[in-house]
Structure 1
Amino acid sequence: MHFRIRAATKEDCKDISRMIMELAVYEKMPDQVKISHEELERDGFSQNPFFECLVAEVPEEHKSEGGFTVVGYALYFYTYSTWKGPSVYLEDLYVMPEYRGNGIGKGLLCKVAEVGKKKQCVRLQLSVLNWNTPSRDFYAAKGAQDLTVSEGWHFIRFEGQSLDDLANEAPKD
């Protein structure tokens, strides 16, 4: 199947928002999605964006059952390793179920790697749910290392009240 990968635009935010919800449903966490397409527009397409995004698009004649031509996305941002240097973090990689198996996911992943390399990034990092064997196998087949297994790293998060509490305990000027 023919598809193209391009940089997302503000106009793609409704499609990206739709696919974020589809991904959340797949990951069994639809109630966790709190972001709107307007917030995606603000956060990704402002003067100092928090993220970048690529979309996969199929020709009109191959549009989805729902009438969509944007059928996948990769949302990523840059981080910094004090041991290695610039890194790119892949927050989401998603392809609509009816388009899987056509190389779209691989194309998105490879394009994120290419973008990262052009920005001097030394690594591409991401997280995968422990039960998501198809994705873990996909990344492993491309040469990814599972750091939980090999190095014992745990992914830690502060949010909500715990984040508020930390911020409130910050030293005052």
Structure 2
Amino acid sequence: MKFSIRPARAQDCRDIERMITELSVYEKMPGQVKISYKELERDGFGPNPFYQCLVAEVPQEHISTEGHSVVGYVLYFYTYSTWRGRCVYMEDLYVMPDFRGKGIGKALMASVAKVCSEQQCARLQLSVLDWNKPSLDFYFSKGAQDLTDTEGWHFLRFDGEALENLALEAP
């Protein structure tokens, strides 16, 4: 199947929002998505973008049964390691179910790895749900390391009331 990988454009944000919602269903967290395409436009295509995104697009003869030509995306952003320097965090990698197994996910991830290389980043980092064996197997097959097992790192989060309470402690 023919497809291309390209940088997302502001007009892709409705498709990206759609696929974020599809991903949330796959990850068994459908009620968690609180972002809209308008926020995606603001945060990714303003003067100081918070994220970068690539999309996978198929030609007209391969569009989805729902009429979508944008069938996958990878959303990432730059981070910094005090030990290693520049890094990239891959927040989402998603391919619509009917288009999986055709090399699109691999192409999206390899394209982010290429960005890492071009930007002289030391690491490409990501998180995967512990039950998501297909994704874990895919990442491990490409050489990913599970830092929970090898180094004992835990991924932590502050949000909602915990984040607000912590902010109130600032001088």
Same topology, TM > 0.5? yes
Shift of 1:114: 0.3
Amino acid at match of 1:100: R
Alignment of 1:109 onto 2:139: no
Alignment of 1:65 onto 2:65: yes
2:48, 2:117 → 1: CA distance? 21
Amino acid at match of 1:149: D
Shift of 1:21: 0.2
1:82 equivalent in structure 2: 82
Shift of 1:117: 1.2
- Partner of 2:91, secondary structure, is strand
Alignment of 1:18 onto 2:18: yes
Shift of 1:155: 0.3
**Residues 1-173 of structure 1 mapped to structure 2, 5 A cutoff:** 1-171=1-171
Amino acid at match of 1:22: E
- Partner of 2:56, secondary structure, is strand
1:25, 1:53 → 2: CA distance? 20
- Partner of 1:50, secondary structure, is coil
Runs of 4+ in 1 over 3 A off after TM superposition: none
**Percent identity of equivalent pairs:** 68
2:38, 2:50 → 1: CA distance? 14
Show CA shifts across 1:20-62 (max 9, x none).
0000000000111000000000000000000000000000110
Q: What TM-score do you get using the length of structure 2 for normalisation?
A: 0.99
1:85, 1:79 → 2: CA distance? 8
Shift of 1:119: 1.1
1:145, 1:90 → 2: CA distance? 14
Shift of 1:105: 0.1
Amino acid at match of 1:44: G
Amino acid at match of 2:49: P
Amino acid at match of 2:70: V
- Partner of 2:170, secondary structure, is coil
Show CA shifts across 1:110-139 (max 9, x none).
000001111111110000000000000000
2:75, 2:97 → 1: CA distance? 18
Q: Which residues of structure 1 form unaligned runs of 5+?
A: none
